[in-house]
Each structure stands twice: as structure tokens, then as C-alpha cells.
A and B are shown apart, each in its own frame.
Chain A
Amino acid sequence: MRLPTLFLLLALLPGAAGAQPLASPLHDDDIPRILAFGPWPPAPVRDPSNRVSGQPAAIAFGATLFHDPRLSHDGSLSCASCHHPARAFSDGLPRAQGLQPGIRNTPGLANVSQQRWFGWDGANDSLWAQSLRPLLDAREMGGSLPQLARTLCSQPDLREGYRKAFGQAPGVDDERVAVDAAKALAAYQETLLTPRTPFDDFRDAVARGDRAAAAAYPAAAQRGLALFLGRGRCHVCHGGPTFSNGEFSDIGMPFFIAKGQVDPGRHGGIQALQRSRYNLLGPFNDDAARSSATGTRHVLLEHRHFGEFKVPGLRNLARTAPYMHDGSLKDLREVLRHYSELDENRLHADGEAILVPLRLSEAETEDLLAFLDSLNEAPAPRQ
């Protein structure tokens, strides 16, 4: 039995949205789900597959490399060229633009350390392997292992940064030097966490039973949260502290790139992962016990993974428009319209069976936007 007790009381507390009786549909049995969205920030955890994870010298070297265009083939692009710090480490474009046009949206890097799989298709199982990929991809930075190693060995500042990070000068093995550069890049990106949000204050107030503090959470956001947990069932995929289960889903987005060309999504990602020599089962994992390779060892390739893409986290979402793997939805209102008017005929035959058009009213859309706004570090300008 659902008892609308705690939150109705919260809503009626003096100072809560004008103290008007609110038809808050949040219930006591929503509390465990609300608590599961935290705590935030998460406790620091070092990546066992990366021997310099969490080490200050590696973080500093990684930050330098992240902004250094000398790592690209023609010296024109750095990681930050597409992952702008001012844009939550995304680029604001529908699809990435490296040395050549890309086929997917540039994901923001905030909270990337909390992920299990990396990239829209999860083709990499570590942040360092994912960091190596764009360095070598002809469409992105277009480099090569020898070119990267040569740059790191020949440029005095980079050579010194490497020595400080890894305790020795770069060796003669080009591949290992390049992978080490990727591990320094990963160490830096692990530090990119979004700040606390109004939702976190609400969640923690609920956790400690502080009704007065919880009542400060806006009524519209409460209604949006109730919809997120209730009829929307959004939390089924967008669960946990990052608001993502870290897995993949087919939500009816198109996967045609051009005439006759499709983006296979997770299906192609698993195949790429399994043939990569940089996966966690390979020789570059610094965790000799391979304790971090459980997912890689057991990941399953099935037909249903075709057209699935990573479930993105929702923190600081307002700063990473446009949305979806192909960047085809320009703002959050369009994203909500997608779920509201979901084309069930388009959904993959093996797709997520619980997805149904939400048929959101304008008021419900506004409430969901208010909830999503509360996941930003500061109220975002309404789109």
C-alpha cells in the first residue's frame, strides 16, 4: 500500500512553496529509490587497471596532455577541442567534429570515472583505453602509436611530465608509452566530478529525516521526481548516483547514419571491445589479478544489442545539449517529447519492452524539466 505521508507533510510545512496543499504524489515507498540516487559526491575509488590512477603527478600530466594539440596528427586538435571545459567537457555540436566529421554526439566527461563502459557503444572497458581511442582515430586526432611516442619523448616538457608521473623517462616501446599517456589522461578525467545539486540537498535531507530541509525542494521538482519514479519509470534505466545504470538501451532513436549506413551501437561496441588488445583482459591492464575485468569476461553479445546506446547520466544535463547519441534532439523539451510520443513501431523488436509513449501533459513536461533542472549545480536557464 502506498501511503502519501512523509512528502505530503513536507509539502505542507511552512515555507514550502507558499504552504499551499500540494498534490505531491511522492510516497514513503519512493524513499529507497530516492536514496539510491546518492550519496553525492561519491567516495574516491582508484582504478586498479591504471597504476597512476589518483596520483597527483599523473593527474597534472594528464591535464597538460588533455589541452595539448601536439598529440594530434597535425598539431591542430587537443582533447579539449571537442571536450570544452566550459561546456561540461562536450562541444555543443550535434555530432563530433575532429579532423573529419564524426557520426556521434560528443559526450560530456563529467563523472566519467563512474562509468563501467565508455563511449556511446561501450567499446572500451576502461577510461584509459577510451582515452587512447580518439588519439588514434583518423576522424578525431588522427595520431599513431609511433607519432605519440615520438612526441612524448622529444618534447622536453612532455618528457619531464611523463617522468614525474611514471617515475621514469618514457621507454622504447611506443605502444606502452602511448598507453601510459592515455593512463595519465584517465587520471586527470577521473577528477572531473559535477558538484552537489539542489536534488542532493533534498536527497540527504530525506536520508536524515530532516523534513524542514527537504521541504525547501521546489514543489514542481517534487512532482517531476514523482513522475520520474512513477508513471515514467525513468529510474529503471536512469538509476543510481549518476542517474544511469551504466548499461545500454534502444529507446527508438534512429540508427541510420546515411543512406545504406547504420550505426550498430552496442552490438558493434561489444565486438570492438572483444577484439581490442587494450581491453581489461589484455596485456596493458595494471591489475594482475584482473579483478576489474569481470564485465569484460562475461559480457554477452546478442542480436538485441543492435541499436542500443549508452544510458547517459543526468547530472549537469543542461550543459551538454544537444542530446542523444546522434545529437539529434536540441534541448530537453525535445527529449521529453521523444518519450512522450515514442514510436512503438520504430522500437527494435528486441528493444526494451516496458517503453510506452508517456503522453505527457504540458504541466507534466514542466514538472519533469523542473526536476531535471534540480540535477544541475545551479538553476539552468530554461530552454
Chain B
Amino acid sequence: MRRLLPLAVGLLASGSALACGETLGAGAQRIDSAQFQLAYKPTPTPIPVGQHFAIDFVLCPRDGAALPAEVRVDATMPEHKHGMNYRPSVVSRGAGAYRAEGLMFHMPGRWELVFELRGSGAPLRLTQSLQVG
């Protein structure tokens, strides 16, 4: 029973987490941190190499955390030591929902997608590694 308890807690947490970004529909990806869960979905999916794409995402605060005043989206290729050739724009759609436009992965390979949440304190970076192409 003691062994099952952590599993049950994990399932509960997982069930709660699945609620974030339900509006994005099937195929949404999720990134967790202590303060937020972020659900996102690129358009088109899968992300094409060398074409502009957009990302719809939803921020779900945990434990009473406030939504950030500003959210930036960026991406880099760590092995190549460069980022995108474009600076995405981010528009809030209210209630923690956002849309980023103007992204482009101009090379195949590993990209690190970064959501930077800016508020009164230090920026919080939520990242996810993506293999493209």
C-alpha cells in the first residue's frame, strides 16, 4: 500500500495537469514547472523546416501564482550556437491563452523552444527540446 500511494498521488497530479490547455485539442504538448503548467500546440503540426509557423499556448498557474505581465517565445539551436532569424510576436487572448506568430526553424536538427515569463521577479524560462526534420 505504501508503494501504491506515491503512484496514486502521481495519477491525481497527472489528471489535474491534463486539464491545462484542453481547448488546444489533441496533440498539445505540456511543460511543467513549480509555478505553471504550459500547454502548447504548433500550427502546422508537425513543425515544418523552413516555413513560418505559429504556436497557440495556455498558461495554467499553480498554487495561486499570478499570470506574467509579459510572455516571450524564442528558440535556439544549442549545437549550432544560434537562434531563429525571426523574432516571434506574442498576443494574449485572455485567461492565460496566447498565440505566438512568426517562428521559423530554418534548419533541421535539435531546437530548444523557450517560453519566457516576465513579471515582477526574475524571468522564468520554460523550455522544451524538439527534434525537427
Given A304-B82, A352-B80, A353-B80, verify A298-B101 contact (CB < 8 Å). Answer: yes
Question: Does A354 lie at the interface of the complex (its beta carbon under 8 Å from any beta carbon of B)?
Answer: yes
User: Which residues of chain A in 219-240 are interfacial with respect to chain B, using CB atoms and an 8 Å cutoff?
Assistant: 235-237, 239-240
When C-beta atoms are compared, the residue in chain B nearest to A353 turns out to be B81
Stretch in B7-15, B25-33, B56-64, B105-113 with 4+ CB within 8 Å of A: B105-113
Complex CA–CA separation, A247 to B85 (angstroms): 8
Complex CA–CA separation, A113 to B85 (angstroms): 21
Complex CA–CA separation, A297 to B102 (angstroms): 8
Q: What A residues does B102 contact at CB under 8 A? A: 294-295, 297-298
When C-beta atoms are compared, the residue in chain A nearest to B104 turns out to be A295
Q: Which of A245, A248, A305 contacts B50 (CB 8 A)?
A: A245
Complex CA–CA separation, A246 to B50 (angstroms): 8
Question: Does A36 lie at the interface of the complex (its beta carbon under 8 Å from any beta carbon of B)?
Answer: yes
Complex CA–CA separation, A247 to B49 (angstroms): 12
Question: Does A172 lie at the interface of the complex (its beta carbon under 8 Å from any beta carbon of B)?
Answer: no
User: Which residues of chain B in 63-99 are interfacial with respect to chain A, using CB atoms and an 8 Å cutoff?
Assistant: 79-82, 84-89
Q: A298, B88: Cβ atoms under 8 Å?
A: yes
Q: What A residues does B80 contact at CB under 8 A? A: 352-354
Q: A295, B49: Cβ atoms under 8 Å?
A: no
Min CB–CB distance A293 → chain B (angstroms): 10
Q: B89, A245: Cβ atoms under 8 Å?
A: no
Question: Does B52 lie at the interface of the complex (its beta carbon under 8 Å from any beta carbon of A)?
Answer: yes
Complex CA–CA separation, A354 to B108 (angstroms): 12
Q: A297, B89: Cβ atoms under 8 Å?
A: yes
Complex CA–CA separation, A304 to B80 (angstroms): 12
Q: A245, B86: Cβ atoms under 8 Å?
A: no
Q: A298, B87: Cβ atoms under 8 Å?
A: yes
Encoded as 1 (CB less than 8 Å from any B CB) or 0, chain A from 192 to 210 comes to: 0000000000000000000
Question: Does A299 lie at the interface of the complex (its beta carbon under 8 Å from any beta carbon of B)?
Answer: yes
Given A239-B50, A245-B49, A354-B80, verify A300-B109 contact (CB < 8 Å). Answer: no
Question: Does A157 lie at the interface of the complex (its beta carbon under 8 Å from any beta carbon of B)?
Answer: no
Q: What B residues does A248 contact at CB under 8 A? A: 85
Question: Does A350 lie at the interface of the complex (its beta carbon under 8 Å from any beta carbon of B)?
Answer: yes
In this complex, how many residues of chain B approach chain A with their Cβ under 8 Å: the count is 21
Complex CA–CA separation, A299 to B88 (angstroms): 9
User: Which residues of chain A in 30-50 are interfacial with respect to chain B, using CB atoms and an 8 Å cutoff?
Assistant: 33, 36
User: Which residues of chain A in 350-368 are interfacial with respect to chain B, using CB atoms and an 8 Å cutoff?
Assistant: 350, 352-354
Q: A298, B89: Cβ atoms under 8 Å?
A: yes
Question: Does B119 lie at the interface of the complex (its beta carbon under 8 Å from any beta carbon of A)?
Answer: no
Q: What A residues does B52 contact at CB under 8 A? A: 294-295, 298
Q: B49, A239: Cβ atoms under 8 Å?
A: yes
Q: What B residues does A353 contact at CB under 8 A? A: 79-82
Complex CA–CA separation, A148 to B81 (angstroms): 46
In the complex, which of the residues A245, A299, A305 has the most CB atoms of chain B within 10 Å of its own CB atom?
Answer: A245
Min CB–CB distance A111 → chain B (angstroms): 15
Given A239-B49, A245-B50, A353-B80, verify A298-B108 contact (CB < 8 Å). Answer: no
Complex CA–CA separation, A354 to B78 (angstroms): 11
Question: Does B44 lie at the interface of the complex (its beta carbon under 8 Å from any beta carbon of A)?
Answer: no
Given A245-B49, A294-B52, verify A239-B133 contact (CB < 8 Å). Answer: yes
Q: B108, A300: Cβ atoms under 8 Å?
A: no
Q: What A residues does B85 contact at CB under 8 A? A: 247-248, 299-300, 305
Complex CA–CA separation, A322 to B3 (angstroms): 71
Min CB–CB distance A203 → chain B (angstroms): 16
Encoded as 1 (CB less than 8 Å from any B CB) or 0, chain A from 276 to 315 comes to: 0000000000000000001101111000110000000000
Q: What A residues does B133 contact at CB under 8 A? A: 33, 36, 239
List 5 A-B pairs, Cβ < 8 Å.
A239-B107, A294-B52, A298-B86, A298-B87, A305-B85
Q: Known contacts A239-B107, A297-B102; can you find 4 more A-B pairs with CB under 8 A?
A: A236-B107, A236-B108, A294-B101, A353-B81
Going nearest first, the 4 A-B pairs with the smallest beta carbon separation are A298-B102, A353-B81, A298-B86, A247-B106
Contacts from A to B (Cβ < 8 Å) = 33, 36, 235-237, 239-240, 245-248, 294-295, 297-300, 304-305, 350, 352-354
